[in-house]
Copies of this chain bind each other. A is one copy, B any other.
């Protein structure tokens, strides 16, 4: 490669590179910094403008991509050759150029059509980062003297459980057809996993509807439980929620693929079952305190996270607020 071309590439690449050490390098394809509460609006402006500046195409016979605001290159999946031989050659040339230009992290997203390139990427020094059905994400941290600060992949699955009590003080319970509880005759509350992109409150309402046919609305988060080493070695965050059923739903159906049966059971009978674990007993205490009115649990409300249009689900417990318009006024959010 001619020196002039490399110099031009270097100047493009270095445009957003600073000298300070950086601990976390986010790919520009996702939000650069997770919106972890107490962040402020100006970053959205900067994020937007720096993305635009960083979006300059980098393609000089190399693998095409754009550099992000974190000294990294995000390769364009569309431009990656499908032929392993062509891919390998382009990658070799590209990595030399990236090193020369001070690039640190390289993000490469390979779809199933490029699965035969994965081995060659690993040979070149790339590591697996995460995968979805649609792709494997590989990363390469180029600096030899600095440990990789690339961010980890998702760490938790999220589960929900529903405490649903009707006007006769009966609790909605199920027996599972599958898994380790099969054939044990153990009654339990309806539970399930949150689907990607689903609010936990929606997940609880959906699971109750799917499993038992009962229409019920979220009312409160009562308790949470974090456990480690659950599915594929990941952690599990479980939310126990109270839901209010529409009145007059005597008949309980059940999802035959998942359940042996489902029923309304007198609450006292459920509490007295001998099958509860220590964790269950403690969760039960939250349920009973909620029922007798001594514990409200947490409210849930969709709230604008910043000055952008999207809303996030906020769960909060102070009793002075109810999530209504009065609260907006109190917080100075409406005039």
Binding site for B on A (CB under 8 A): 20-24, 26-27, 30-44, 46-47, 50, 70, 84, 112, 115-123, 127-137, 151-161, 176-182, 184, 186, 188-189, 191-197, 199-200, 221-238, 240, 256-258, 275-283, 285-286, 289-290, 294-295, 297-298, 303-307, 310, 312-321, 330-333
Contact = CB atoms under 8 A, between A and B. Distances in A.
A36 B180 contact: no
Contacts of A225: 37, 303, 305, 312-315
Contact of A133 (B32, B50, B127): B127
A180 B46 contact: yes
13 contacts: A22-B257, A37-B283, A42-B180, A50-B180, A115-B122, A129-B131, A130-B131, A131-B153, A153-B157, A222-B317, A225-B315, A227-B310, A295-B318
A133 B122 contact: no
Given A34-B157, A112-B122, A295-B319, 4 more contacts: A36-B236, A37-B283, A41-B277, A289-B319
A231 B29 CA distance: 9
Given A37-B191, A192-B36, A228-B197, A314 B281 contact: no
Contacts of A285: 316, 318, 320-321, 330-331
A159 B289 CA distance: 29
B36 A223 contact: no
Contacts of A230: 30-31, 34-35
Nearest to A290: B318
A188 B197 CA distance: 27
B23 A178 contact: yes
The 5 closest A-B pairs by CB, nearest first: A43-B180, A116-B119, A289-B318, A131-B131, A33-B179
Nearest to A130: B131
Given A232-B137, A316-B222, A227 B188 contact: no
Contacts of A37: 159, 161, 189, 191, 225, 238, 240, 279-280, 283
Contacts of A153: 131-132, 154, 157, 232, 234
B33 A180 contact: yes
Contacts of A236: 34-36
A38 B191 contact: yes
